[in-house]
Amino acid sequence: MSDGQSVKYAVDLVMCIDGTGSMGHLIEEVKSLALKFYDELEAEMKVQSKKVEQLRARVIVFRDYWADSADKVMQCSEFFDLRSQSSDFANFVSPIEADGGGDEPENGLEAVGLALKSNWEKGDFSKQRYVVVLFTDASAHSLDKGPKPSHYPNDIPKTFNDLTDYWHEMPTPVKRLLLFAPDAEPWTMMGSWENTIHYVSEAGRGLEKTEMKEILNAIAKSI
**What's the first-to-final CA gap in the chain, in angstroms?**
19
Share of the chain above pLDDT 70, in %: 90
Question: In terms of DSSP bridges, do strands 52-62 and 74-76 run parallel, antiparallel, or are they unpaired?
Answer: antiparallel
pLDDT at 54 > cutoff 80? yes
pLDDT band at 31 (very low <50, low <70, confident <90, very high): confident
* Residue 143 predicted with pLDDT over 70: yes
The pLDDT of residue 150: 95
Question: What pLDDT is stored for residue 1 in this prediction?
Answer: 42
Q: Write the DSSP string, the chain.
A: --HHHHS-EEEEEEEEEE-SGGGHHHHHHHHHHHHTHHHHHHHHHHHTT--EEEEEEEEEEE--TTTS-HHHHEEE---EETTT-HHHHHHHHTT-------SSPBSHHHHHHHHHTS----SS-SEEEEEEEEE-SS-B--TT-SSPPTT--SSS-SSHHHHHHHHHHS-TTTEEEEEEEES-TTHHHHTTSTTEEEEEE-TTTTTTT--HHHHHHHHHHT-
Provide the Cα torsion 3, 176, 17, 62; round to 10°: 140
What's the CATH code of the domain at 208?
3.40.50.410
* Partners of residue 60 on adjacent β-strands: 16, 76
Residue 71 lies in domain: 3-221
Across all residues in the chain, what is the average pLDDT?
86
Number of domains in the chain: 1
pTM of the model: 0.90
Q: At residue 82, does pLDDT exceed 80?
A: yes
Residue 203 pLDDT level (bands cut at 50, 70, 90): low
Q: Using 50, 70 and 90 to split pLDDT, how confident is the model at 37?
A: confident
